[in-house]
Chain A
Amino acid sequence: MLEVDLPEPLMLALRWLLLLGPICLVLWFAFVRETSVRAKIGGLFAFLYGLPMIFITHSIALHFGWWRYGWDALMLNGIPADILIGGAILFGPGLFFAFPKVGPLIICLPIVLCLHAIIFSSLRPLVFAGPFWFGGVVFVFITAHIPAIYLAKWTAEERRLGERCTLLAIMTGGIIFAVIPSLIMQAMGGYWQLFDRPAWTLIVTGAALTVTSTIGLAGNQMLCLQGAGTPIPLDPTKRLVRSGIFAYVSNPMQLSAALGWIILGLYLHNIWIIAAAGMAWVFVQGMVRWHHRHDLLKRFPEGWPEYKENVPEWLPRWRPWVPVNAHLKLGTNDRFLKRILKNAVGLDLEYSDVPLAYDAVIEPRKFTGWEARLFALTHVNFAWAVAAHLTLIVFMFSKALWSTLAFPLKRHS
């Protein structure tokens, strides 16, 4: 490992290069070389995933003293914003465009071992390496850079939709709960005093954030399962989704973000983070409605107007709107479920000895077993729908994770 004193002008130039270099690389591939539209979208998603993940992992690194950055320009939580953005571009669209056919592990391993291992300790005053810095670098690559390049690859190849939606959900959570509050506190004042409050407030806040996050994650999950797409308009769904959480509210993700900021702002005693909920409203009024008019209305001219008329944007209905009754086959012995579903809306029950099965009718996918029970519960009221979706998220994620670990060579479409 090298540890030499490099001149400051070289470090200043390197700081410029860490942002401008990746930008030039991406612009070259995006506009000069032939890069497909799907690859460009994948590259954008990789950048958007990398941004919050690099921010979070570098914040952890700073907290534990693995390294720290020099100079005092453009600092966001002690991380230079230009290095953050340049890193998200390079270890996202940059490397993906440059090596589209190479696996992310093969791309990143030489960089970790050669570049970082050899010269990281010689980059003062750009960065000062602390103890365990190499472990920190590996941690950043595993959680931020490698998944970002995979996200780009899978998006370009239109496969592994479940994994893509999971990474996009992590990306959204990182932007909502880490990046934007940090930017707000940078601009308006405030601190990340997460553990300086009484334990009970932390528990209550955690519980409240779990509920509000479930609303957003449920939206993501439904668009993936029934819409065969992602929540991002650039990689849209192939179908209009009107069941599950979407039977109660048409903007579950924006609602989730707004509520999340209110709760986080209350916990951190920061009025400006609470005010970010207002920005979520502005975003819906501006961008989302424009998207609804110019995309959803054009793609789903028959389903969208009726849906918009019956399902509110912000304040969820207590009971679901179901245009066509769904169908549930359940056993006569399932008394607990029968009792709850007595009040279900838009759900036809058939009692038989065949296995439990749920068919939303207006959606393509059918479910059996525990998933069928949980989807049936989304027909009762909003509270049951959120509880059912929380269980579905945990259940289906665990099932998918187990499937991936137990059968690593299985190809997903």
Chain B
Amino acid sequence: MFCSAMVLAILFRIFYAAISLASIDKTAFLAFPLTVLIPALAFFFLAGRKNMASKEGVLMQLGSMIQLLLIVALPDFALYLALGFPVVFLSVELFETRVPEVLRNRIEQRVLTC
């Protein structure tokens, strides 16, 4: 599901980069490697990692993938999302340490078996 969303986001960005190349403003074309290819590469690298050591690691992996997907899909907010990356790790940490165990196990079961 995430991978399909990422592929869709990449296709949209390719379209806008191609338009940019043909126009006077080359910004979208020039920004393509850094704002699309690199995050997408990181996304697929994370998606390919199957042997995380802990459930916490898997949640961080998922959180990072969602953040990278948003960075590619929402170029106007990419910088804010990149600067806000530590919030992903904080969210997972708070979830692991503050959420009641019963609720945490239930959520982890739903999310990790998807």
Contact = CB atoms under 8 A, between A and B. Distances in A.
A187 B79 contact: yes
A183 B80 CA distance: 9
Interface stretch (A68-76, A96-104, A217-225, A308-316): A68-76
Contact of A81 (B32, B34, B89, B92): B34
Contact of A287 (B21, B80, B86): B86
Given A183-B79, A289-B93, A279 B86 contact: yes
A286 B86 contact: yes
B86 to A, nearest CB: 5
A73 B79 contact: no
A12 interface: yes
A192 interface: no
B34 A12 contact: no
A74 B93 contact: no
A16 B17 CA distance: 13
Interface in A264-294: 279, 282-283, 285-287, 289-290, 294
A301 B110 CA distance: 33
Contacts, number: 70
Interface string A176-193: 000000011011000000
A286 B34 contact: no
B33 A73 contact: no
A186 B26 contact: no
Given A183-B83, A187-B79, A290 B30 contact: no
Interface residues of A, number: 27
A286 B31 CA distance: 30
Most chain A CB atoms below 10 A, which of B29, B80, B94? B29
Contacts of B87: 282, 286
A349 interface: no
B34 A82 contact: yes
Interface in A68-91: 71-74, 80-82, 85
A356 interface: no
A16 B83 CA distance: 23
B30 A15 contact: yes
A290 B86 contact: no
A18 to B, nearest CB: 9
Interface in B60-79: 79
Interface string A340-358: 0000000000000000000
Interface in A29-74: 71-74
A73 B93 contact: no
Contact of A20 (B37, B79, B86): B37
A16 B79 contact: no
B56 interface: yes
A282 B86 contact: yes
A176 to B, nearest CB: 14
Contacts of B93: 285-286, 289-290
B27 interface: yes
B30 A71 contact: yes
Interface string A379-406: 0000000000000000000000000000
Given A187-B79, A279-B86, A290-B93, A82 B56 contact: no
Contact of A282 (B26, B33, B37, B90): B90
A20 B33 contact: yes
Contacts of B32: 16
Contact of B86 (A12, A85, A283): A283
Q: Which 3 A-B pairs have the closest CB atoms?
A: A286-B89, A286-B90, A73-B30
Interface of A: 12, 15-16, 19-20, 23, 71-74, 80-82, 85, 183-184, 186-187, 279, 282-283, 285-287, 289-290, 294
